[in-house]
């Protein structure tokens, strides 16, 4: 008997039944197919404009910084942020075509490379699949347009998040994921990130930048 | 790890004498408890979410075989691999084989309680493969060759100075000559050292908080981002997870995550909550080329369908230990194995046997705080009581305790005799102690009075006598 059969057999003996069948099986199948929503906290079920405020409050509460800008002002806001934080005017950016529109080429003083990060890269610029108002959380999905390591390796992560990417609760992200990738399907990595990396492993005192970014700056772009 | 749970009483003595540990514990009690309370107050639906979290885990356990098979099917369809490990030994062998197939010399590990449970690091080391712990706390204790003392804060028993000494000792040969004293410098140095390790590692090993049957995703929460580096940079990603981690859907994951971080650290949401689904896809610029999930049973299927099944709902948040007066006094190491605190007192006798870990469920005042904060409402005191009963049934309890319990049972079954005996005891104790209101020494109760006073009975007689005198209802 294979280890697999041995384990499934032991589980079924414990549950005092054979393989799941009949109505019980149909109910479990239905749960997977229809993925019913559990309890969605009321906190995020508010007017659109308030959801964006709630996202901003949540992100700031976990030490991200947030600025709201018009589409035409994104590149300038990046340059200002880098200067204000004494960072070089250079960044590695996700090869995401959705980021092309922000007029980087008109800013020759900002040196941008598209692709994977290397050790010398101090700043990453990426988009985000979504932002969740409930807790100020960003959702990144892996793919040719968005290497996961961009979210993790450089010390500073600048995230360009369109207002229409902000949803109330996580469940709304799942709806968008299923629409994009298909039912029951996910990209290799879905990273939900809430503020910069942190640890409290030394005397329970918070320190930022344990392994991932020390700084996270979110530009919310008005539609 | 090798259990010392049988030596619990000696371990406790050592813990109470350890000044550094006692200092850490005193800050921990305030920090975790207050932060959780704050998070609960900000979430009005918290109690309803706990009910739902309990129901989801109960549903998943009742359909465990079904959801595991669905999970497996999804992973296989994406080109991943699923390995079934009935025992800890099987799991160790499978992981070692996978590391060998990857020609691994070093492994980047993100903190996993299952890896601790199966003694994975020791096994890999014995076969020439170096596992590097990447969670900062776990890295510190790995350098010090100590076991974790808390399931989510493994180095909570250490002071900053101890960490500084440890880094100075181990990092000097890597080119970091200076002994650091500031916390942020210590974290920055570890970041630099570990970044190199991540880049060198051939294999990344992580645990999983949940396995999602709907999508075949393994899901992990961290605050540092170390698990994300472990599952992104190395060519091979191995997930080690026990069977009860499987849940049906993403919506169920959301419900459980809403209670997990709040219960654990008082955070609204962990900094990194990651869903990994299979290996690198076509066109992906990064990610592992091979992806494996090792499903561990190790005695869990024996618990299904028994009165102990509730323990399998545990989502490893650590709230029970953060709120436990016994854990707060002795810390995690004294429990002698991987899982400390109230959940350890319930899990360890199951996983190690009652002979080894039978002392642990006795280390409880049954105050019930653990159950009152458990996000999946595990009746921890009830489960500890079950273990005590089994210990008694199997004659593992010391003879003096058995005799005392026998005497008490004899009296308790004879109400008239019981009242007479307690009445005499009450008057006798009052006679010798009422003037001061307390005793600092009592025959047969030295274990109590060495550390604290015993209050003397107040005027008015026994509880029964006072109940009767105040006209309380009787049957």
Annotate B344-378 with DSSP letters as a single string: HHHHHHHHH-HHHHTTGGGS-----HHHHH-TT--
Establish if B211 belongs to a structural domain. yes
pLDDT tier for residue B453 given thresholds of 50, 70 and 90: confident
Q: In this predicted structure, what is the pLDDT of residue A4?
A: 98
What span, in angstroms and rounded, lies between the C-alpha atoms of B92 and B121? 9
Nearest chain A residue (CA) to B198: A211
- Tokens matching residue A219: 């530009």
Mean pLDDT of chain B: 92
**Cross-chain residue pair B225–A210, CB shorter than 8 Å:** yes
Count: domains in chain B: 2
Q: What is the mean pLDDT of residues A41-68?
A: 97
Please give the CATH superfamily to which domain A46-221 belongs: NagB/RpiA/CoA transferase-like (3.40.50.10420)
Helices (H) and strands (E) in chain A, counts: 5, 12
Is pLDDT larger for residue A58 or for residue B459? A58
Classify residue B394 by burial, with Cβ atoms within 10 Å: 0-12, 13-18, 19+: exposed
Q: Do residues B122 and B248 both lie within one domain?
A: yes
Q: By the 8 A CB rule, do B253 and B219 touch? A: yes
What span, in angstroms and rounded, lies between the C-alpha atoms of B235 and B107? 11
Give tens-digit pLDDT for B173-188.
999 989 998 999 999 9
Which helix (DSSP H) or strand (DSSP E) does residue B454 occupy?
Answer: strand B454-455
Q: In this predicted structure, what is the pLDDT of residue B400?
A: 85
Smallest CA–CA separation between B395 and chain A, in Å?
A: 26
Is pLDDT larger for residue B420 or for residue B242? B242
- Tokens matching residue B229: 């580096």
How many Cβ contacts (< 8 angstroms) between chains A and B? 263
Q: Tell me the torsion sign for CA atoms B80, B99, A190, B61.
A: positive
Q: Which residues of B touch A135 (CB under 8 A)?
A: 268-269
Q: Which residues of B touch A213 (CB under 8 A)?
A: 225
Establish if B378 belongs to a structural domain. no
Establish if B329 belongs to a structural domain. no
Q: In this predicted structure, what is the pLDDT of residue A177?
A: 98
ipTM: 0.96
> Hey, is the C-beta of A73 within 8 angstroms of any chain B C-beta?
no
In this predicted structure, which of A155-159, B54-58, B193-197 has the lowest mean pLDDT?
B193-197
Nearest to B3, CA basis, from B366, B358, B391, B342: B358
Q: What is the pTM of this model?
A: 0.93
Nearest chain B residue (CA) to A209: B224
**Cross-chain residue pair B257–A170, CB shorter than 8 Å:** yes
Q: Do residues B289 and B408 both lie within one domain?
A: no
What span, in angstroms and rounded, lies between the C-alpha atoms of B443 and A90? 77
- The interface residues of chain B toward chain A in range 135-194, judged by CB-CB distance below 8 A, are 135-137, 140, 153-156, 158-160, 163, 183-184, 186-188, 190-191, 194
Classify residue B465 by burial, with Cβ atoms within 10 Å: 0-12, 13-18, 19+: middle
Domain boundary among the residues B267, B296, B325 is at B296
Establish if B159 belongs to a structural domain. yes
In this predicted structure, which of A217-221, B5-9, B154-158, B273-277 has the lowest mean pLDDT?
B154-158
For residue A161, count other CB atoms closer than 10 A to its CB.
23
Q: Do residues B270 and B419 both lie within one domain?
A: no
What span, in angstroms and rounded, lies between the C-alpha atoms of B389 and B88? 28
What span, in angstroms and rounded, lies between the C-alpha atoms of A132 and B332? 36
What span, in angstroms and rounded, lies between the C-alpha atoms of B106 and B124? 10
Kindly report each contact of residues A94-98 with a partner whose C-beta sits within 8 Å and lies 24 or more positions away, as own/partner: A94/A124, A94/A125, A94/A126, A94/A127, A94/A145, A94/A146, A94/A147, A94/A150, A95/A144, A95/A145, A95/A146, A95/B285, A96/A126, A96/A127, A96/A145, A96/A146, A97/A145, A98/A127, A98/A145
Annotate B243-304 with DSSP letters as a single string: GGGEES-HHHHHHHHHHHHHHHTS-SS-SEEEEE-SSPPTT-SSS-SEEEEEEE-TTSTTTT
**Which of B69, B154, B251 comes nearest A38 by C-beta?**
B251
Helix (H, G, I), strand (E, B) or coil at B436: coil
Domain with CATH 3.40.50.10420 in chain A: 46-221
Half-sphere exposure of B330 (CA within 13 A, CB side): 21
- Tokens matching residue B394: 């199997």
Q: In this predicted structure, what is the pLDDT of residue B434?
A: 61
Q: Do residues B71 and B213 both lie within one domain?
A: yes
The CA–CA distances, whole Å, from A192 to A132, A189, A197, B222 equal 9, 10, 12, 11
> Hey, is the C-beta of A126 within 8 angstroms of any chain B C-beta?
no
Give tens-digit pLDDT for A93-147.
999 999 999 999 999 999 999 999 999 999 999 999 999 999 999 999 999 999 9
Establish if B387 belongs to a structural domain. no
What span, in angstroms and rounded, lies between the C-alpha atoms of B426 and B384? 30
Give tens-digit pLDDT for B349-407.
999 999 999 999 999 999 999 999 999 999 999 999 999 999 988 888 888 888 888 88
Q: What is the mean pLDDT of residues A163-169?
A: 97
The CA–CA distances, whole Å, from A167 to A59, B248, B320, B325, B402 equal 14, 23, 33, 41, 61
pLDDT tier for residue B466 given thresholds of 50, 70 and 90: confident
Query: Residue B155 phi/psi, 5° resolution?
Result: -110, 25
Domain boundary among the residues B251, B281, B296 is at B296
> Domain range for residue B234?
31-296
pLDDT for residue B435 is more than 70: no
DSSP code at position B3: -
Establish if B430 belongs to a structural domain. yes
Is pLDDT larger for residue B152 or for residue B98? B98
Nearest to B301, CA basis, from A2, A17, A15: A15
- Tokens matching residue B190: 């570890």
Q: By the 8 A CB rule, do B210 and B247 touch? A: yes
Domain boundary among the residues B296, B326, B343 is at B296
The CA–CA distances, whole Å, from A92 to B7, B83, B192, B324, B355 equal 55, 38, 20, 48, 58
Establish if B7 belongs to a structural domain. no
Establish if B319 belongs to a structural domain. no
Which of A135, A199, A206, A215 is the best residue to mutate to test the B interface, defined by the most B CB atoms within 10 Å of its own CB? A199
Classify residue B370 by burial, with Cβ atoms within 10 Å: 0-12, 13-18, 19+: buried
Helix (H, G, I), strand (E, B) or coil at A143: strand
> Hey, is the C-beta of A156 within 8 angstroms of any chain B C-beta?
no
Give tens-digit pLDDT for B106-147.
999 998 999 999 999 999 999 999 999 999 999 999 999 988
Q: Do residues B42 and B178 both lie within one domain?
A: yes
What span, in angstroms and rounded, lies between the C-alpha atoms of B210 and B217? 8
- The interface residues of chain B toward chain A in range 427-456, judged by CB-CB distance below 8 A, are none
DSSP code at position B235: S
DSSP code at position A146: B
Give tens-digit pLDDT for B295-326.
999 999 999 999 999 999 999 999 999 999 99
Q: In this predicted structure, what is the pLDDT of residue B248?
A: 98
Q: By the 8 A CB rule, do A140 and A175 touch? A: no
**Cross-chain residue pair A202–B136, CB shorter than 8 Å:** yes
CA angle B173, B175, B176 (to 5 degrees): 100
**Cross-chain residue pair A199–B286, CB shorter than 8 Å:** no
Q: Tell me the torsion sign for CA atoms A131, A134, A136, A142.
A: negative
**Cross-chain residue pair A188–B278, CB shorter than 8 Å:** yes
Half-sphere exposure of B449 (CA within 13 A, CB side): 12
- B17 Cβ partners below 8 Å, 6+ apart? none
Q: What is the mean pLDDT of residues A144-157?
A: 97
């Amino acid at each position: 008997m294979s280890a697999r059969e041995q384990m499934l057999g032991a589980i079924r003996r414990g549950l005092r039944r054979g393989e799941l069948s009949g109505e019980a099986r149909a109910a479990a199948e239905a749960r997977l197919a229809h993925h019913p929503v559990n309890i969605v906290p009321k906190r995020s079920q508010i007017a659109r404009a308030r959801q964006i405020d709630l996202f901003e409050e949540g992100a700031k509460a976990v030490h991200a910084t947030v600025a709201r800008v018009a589409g035409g002002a994104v590149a300038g806001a990046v340059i200002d942020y880098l200067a204000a934080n004494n960072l070089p005017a250079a960044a590695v950016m996700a090869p995401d075509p959705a980021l092309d529109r922000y007029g980087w080429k008109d800013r020759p003083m900002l040196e941008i490379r598209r692709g994977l990060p290397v050790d010398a890269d101090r700043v990453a610029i990426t988009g985000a699949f979504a932002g969740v108002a409930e807790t100020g959380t960003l959702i990144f999905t892996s793919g040719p347009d968005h290497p996961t390591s961009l979210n993790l390796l450089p010390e500073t992560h600048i995230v360009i998040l369109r207002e229409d990417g902000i949803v109330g609760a996580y469940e709304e992200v799942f709806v968008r994921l299923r629409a994009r990738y298909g039912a029951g399907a996910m990209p290799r990595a879905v990273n939900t990130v809430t503020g910069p990396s942190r640890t409290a492993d030394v005397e329970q005192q918070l320190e930022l930048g344990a392994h991932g970014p020390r700084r996270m700056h979110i530009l919310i772009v008005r539609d | 790890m090798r259990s010392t749970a049988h030596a619990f009483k000696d371990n406790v003595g050592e813990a109470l004498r350890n000044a550094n540990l006692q200092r850490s514990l005193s800050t921990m009690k305030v920090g975790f408890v207050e932060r959780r309370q704050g998070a609960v107050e900000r979430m009005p639906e918290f109690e309803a979410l706990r009910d739902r979290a309990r129901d989801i885990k109960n549903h998943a356990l009742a359909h465990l075989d079904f959801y595991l098979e669905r999970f497996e099917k999804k992973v296989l369809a994406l080109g991943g691999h699923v390995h079934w490990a009935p025992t800890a030994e099987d799991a160790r062998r499978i992981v070692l084989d996978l590391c060998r197939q990857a020609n691994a010399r070093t492994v980047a590990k993100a903190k996993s309680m299952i890896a601790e449970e199966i003694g994975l690091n020791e096994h890999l080391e014995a076969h020439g493969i170096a596992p590097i712990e990447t969670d900062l706390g776990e890295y510190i204790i790995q350098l010090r060759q100590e076991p974790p003392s808390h399931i989510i804060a493994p180095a909570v028993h250490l002071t900053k100075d101890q960490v500084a000494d440890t880094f100075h000792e181990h990092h000097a040969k890597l080119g970091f000559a200076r002994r650091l004293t500031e916390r942020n410098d210590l974290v920055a140095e570890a970041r630099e050292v570990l970044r190199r390790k991540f880049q060198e590692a051939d294999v990344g090993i992580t645990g999983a908080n949940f396995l999602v049957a709907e999508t075949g995703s393994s899901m992990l929460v961290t605050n540092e981002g170390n698990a994300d580096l472990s599952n992104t940079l190395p060519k091979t990603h191995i997930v080690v997870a026990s069977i009860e981690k499987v849940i049906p859907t993403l919506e169920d994951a959301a419900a459980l995550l809403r209670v997990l971080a709040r219960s654990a650290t008082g955070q609204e949401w962990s900094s990194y909550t990651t869903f990994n689904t299979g290996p690198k896809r076509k066109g992906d610029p990064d990610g592992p080329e091979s992806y494996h999930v090792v499903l561990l049973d190790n005695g869990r299927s024996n618990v299904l369908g028994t009165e102990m099944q509730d323990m399998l709902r545990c989502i490893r948040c650590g709230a029970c230990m953060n709120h436990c007066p016994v854990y707060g006094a002795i810390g995690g190491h004294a429990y002698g194995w991987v899982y400390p605190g109230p959940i350890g007192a319930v899990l360890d006798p199951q996983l190690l046997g009652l002979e080894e870990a039978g002392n642990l469920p006795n280390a409880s005042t049954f105050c019930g705080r653990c159950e009152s904060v458990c996000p999946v409402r595990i009746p921890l005191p009830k489960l500890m009581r079950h273990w005590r009963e089994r210990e008694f049934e199997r004659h593992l309890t010391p003879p003096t305790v058995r005799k005392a319990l026998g005497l008490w049972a004899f009296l308790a079954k004879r109400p008239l005799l019981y009242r007479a005996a307690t009445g005499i005891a009450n008057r006798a104790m009052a006679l010798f102690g009422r003037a001061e209101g307390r005793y600092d020494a009592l025959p047969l109760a030295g274990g109590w009075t060495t550390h604290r006073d015993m209050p003397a009975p107040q005027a008015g007689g026994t509880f029964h006598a006072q109940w009767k005198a105040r006209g309380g209802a009787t049957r």
